[in-house]
């Protein structure tokens, strides 16, 4: 009997962390033409959050939340400082920004992106600008939260080709780069088999 076995395939991923340290760092994008509205999803609804997560991140291999139970997903959405802002185009969800306000005045942009059908239409810069502005003015909506002193996020080499450029144009500055080895994962899409996986 052999002690050897086939190792699961892995891939190297570069992770970049970026930040803003003042509301004046934000350089907003132009507002796109048409009926584009951004609305806060005020009710923590796992079904809707999971839809956004899989529809936006399915083709770029967002998988870290796919194993969460309904209760775990609810817990994530109900944490203090959590906010989800959804972009709608002609009444249809097009993408979202998920914020995590922490007790020390730091707000992380946990997730941000567009459903593939809405990419390349100048919506992403506007949605990111709006989400960053909401990160900076969190204490105005939630007086129990400390005033925001820093907004940060991370992106990686699996994200879309325009992600880093969008962050830099909005005024984010790079503060850390690292390389990780991750198991290969098929692009799950909003349902198994989407995006040709």
CB 37 within 8 A of CB 95: no
Q: Would you state the pLDDT for residue 117? A: 92
pLDDT tens-digit readout, 105-122: 999 999 999 999 999 899
Residue 128 CA to residue 153 CA, distance in Å, equals 11
Average pLDDT over residues 135-154: 93
Residue-range domains of the chain with CATH? 10-196 (3.40.630.30)
Average pLDDT over residues 120-142: 95
Q: Which of 193, 192, 128 is nearest to 160 (CA)?
A: 128
CB 14 within 8 A of CB 154: no
pLDDT at 173 over 80: yes
Average pLDDT over residues 65-74: 94
Angle at 195 between CA 192 and CA 197, to 5 degrees: 55
Q: Would you state the pLDDT for residue 1? A: 46
Residue 93 CA to residue 134 CA, distance in Å, equals 19
């Amino acid at each position: 009997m052999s002690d050897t076995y086939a190792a699961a395939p892995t891939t190297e991923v570069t992770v970049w962390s970026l930040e803003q340290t003042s509301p004046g760092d934000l350089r907003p994008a132009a507002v796109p033409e048409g009926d584009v509205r951004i609305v806060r999803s005020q009710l923590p609804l796992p079904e809707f959050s999971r839809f956004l997560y899989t529809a936006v991140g399915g083709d770029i291999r967002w998988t870290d939340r796919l194993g969460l139970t309904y209760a775990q997903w609810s817990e994530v959405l109900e944490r203090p400082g959590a906010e989800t802002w959804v972009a709608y185009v002609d009444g249809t969800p097009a993408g979202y920004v998920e914020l995590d306000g922490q007790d020390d005045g730091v707000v992380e942009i946990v997730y941000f992106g567009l459903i593939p059908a809405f990419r390349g239409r100048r919506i992403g810069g506007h949605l990111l600008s709006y989400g960053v502005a909401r990160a900076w003015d969190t204490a105005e909506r939630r007086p129990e939260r400390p005033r925001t002193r820093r907004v940060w996020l991370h992106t990686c080499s699996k994200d879309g080709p325009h992600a880093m450029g969008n962050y830099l144009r909005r005024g984010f500055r790079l503060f850390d780069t690292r390389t990780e080895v991750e198991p290969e994962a098929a692009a799950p899409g909003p349902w198994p088999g989407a995006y040709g996986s």
